Amino acid sequence: MNLNQLDSFQWLSSIPVTESQKCDPASEKADVVILGAGPAGLVLGNLLHDRGIDCTILERSTRANLETRARAGFLAPNTVRTLDRHGLADGLKRHGEEHGSCEFRTEGGRFRLDYRELGRGEPHTVYPQQALVTDLLARYLDNGGRIRFETEALAVQDADGPEPAVTARGADGRPTRWRARYVAGCDGWRGAARRSLPPGAVRRHHRDHGISWLGLLAEAPPSLDAVGYAVHPRGFAGHMARTPEVTRYYLQCEPGTDPDSWTDERIWTELELRMRAGEYGPLHRGPILERTLIDLRSDVLEPLRHGSLLLAGDAASLISPSAAKGANLAVLEAELLARALIDALAHGDQAGLDAYSAGCLSSIWRAQEFSHWMIRLLHGTPGADGAETLFLDALRDSRLESLRTSRTQQDWFAEHYVGL
């Protein structure tokens, strides 16, 4: 038992015991217990349920919170194909918008890449993640899938045995216990799945890039018909359309910044300055609906399997939002994991589970490499001294110039920007 598991048991033992609770925690069973109802958990749940696999999703949030929580919105072509192949793309086909261009604004001017016409000639589909989650939830529940909202997974025990267990706190505050044949950890990088891994079970690759963004959601129509990347001496600014009425913005800020210390007026003034609105046209203003602090970090666990516990989504790897890969990796991993679990449970074939980690990590590291390249393209280097800053900034400017002028570089960018 590791320390995190011990903490979970101490929490269970600290609950006041009533007459109705003088027994072991309520115990339930499923072939697969899925922790987390984000894109990875919901895609996995739908695919397993469609094939008759007994599964249950444990989700600590309410359904209303899941359906309104704003997250990423750029879906790669392969992600759209995957969802469509499994009948999970009805909403995004009706309401998603194809997007195929981005604009860079720098001290040397601006340039646009129509990446739909470069590389493999494929666009993104813009579809807010909360809308995708709403679709996946509705389909899962309408088809009779089991989910326990407001149920927080606390620990996974016996993952190296034939019957792992999940201890959780139910919606009523009581402890519950789930027995399973497999546990799918789709509950994020701070979730119970990661916390329950015993020391030495995995190798962790971690990098804190030393860069923070304010993640902003504005009730304002997009100001560009492209994704906007502004490289400015005061820091990076980004513009990403979400809907005709709502736009996602990013502002580089000091690590540890309190998002609430930025007023709407300060935000818009800084956005207009960094995006050079005076030169290229004003931004459409509106109320700031959401402000959060985003620390750019990369984090990968290897392998993604420990016995009967398998990781997907942010539990498997955390990637910076600089390249819009997080939700796309989650869908890719969920499909691979579903296929492997179906083979194991329905046919007794373990080959897919044995190959799952290596199959995912190949795509994860390619996505991490491109994300790291984007970070270096859009930012200065934190902690560098004066002379080093000048040198590294000059390298960044050279990368931007190559991207502006070299068709080979543009094709490489387009292929990696939309691909996995």
User: Are 239 and 222 contacting, i.e. CB atoms less than 8 angstroms apart?
Assistant: yes
Q: Chain-centre distance of CA 189, in angstroms?
A: 10
> Of these residues, 306, 321, 372, 416, which one is catalytic?
321
E strand or H helix at 181, and its extent? strand 175-185
Sequence-ordered alpha helix ranges (H) in 284-385:
326-347, 351-378
99 is catalytic: yes
How many alpha carbons fall within 13 Å on the CB side of residue 341? 33
Six-digit token string for 345: 């449970």
Q: Chain-centre distance of CA 295, in angstroms?
A: 14
Pairing of strands 124-126, 26-35: unpaired
Instruction: Please tell me what DSSP assigns to residue 187.
Output: S
**Cα(317)–Cα(192) distance, integer angstroms:** 15
**Cα(300)–Cα(315) distance, integer angstroms:** 9
**Cα(125)–Cα(99) distance, integer angstroms:** 6
Q: Alpha-carbon Rg of the chain, whole angstroms? A: 22
Could you tell me which residues come within 8 angstroms of residue 353 by beta carbon, excluding any fewer than 6 positions away?
305, 310, 340, 341, 343, 344
> Phi and psi for 417 in degrees, rounded to 5?
-65, -40
Six-digit token string for 153: 């997974």
321 is catalytic: yes
* Helix (H/G/I), strand (E/B), else coil: 183: strand
> Of these residues, 49, 99, 124, 239, which one is catalytic?
99
325 is catalytic: yes
* Helix (H/G/I), strand (E/B), else coil: 104: strand
**Cα(48)–Cα(342) distance, integer angstroms:** 7
Nearest 5°: CA angle at 189, between 185 and 191?
Answer: 55
Residue with tokens 């759209």: 80
**Cα(67)–Cα(131) distance, integer angstroms:** 7
**Cα(187)–Cα(169) distance, integer angstroms:** 15
> Of these residues, 229, 249, 250, 356, which one is catalytic?
229
Residues belonging to the active site: 99, 229, 321, 325, 417
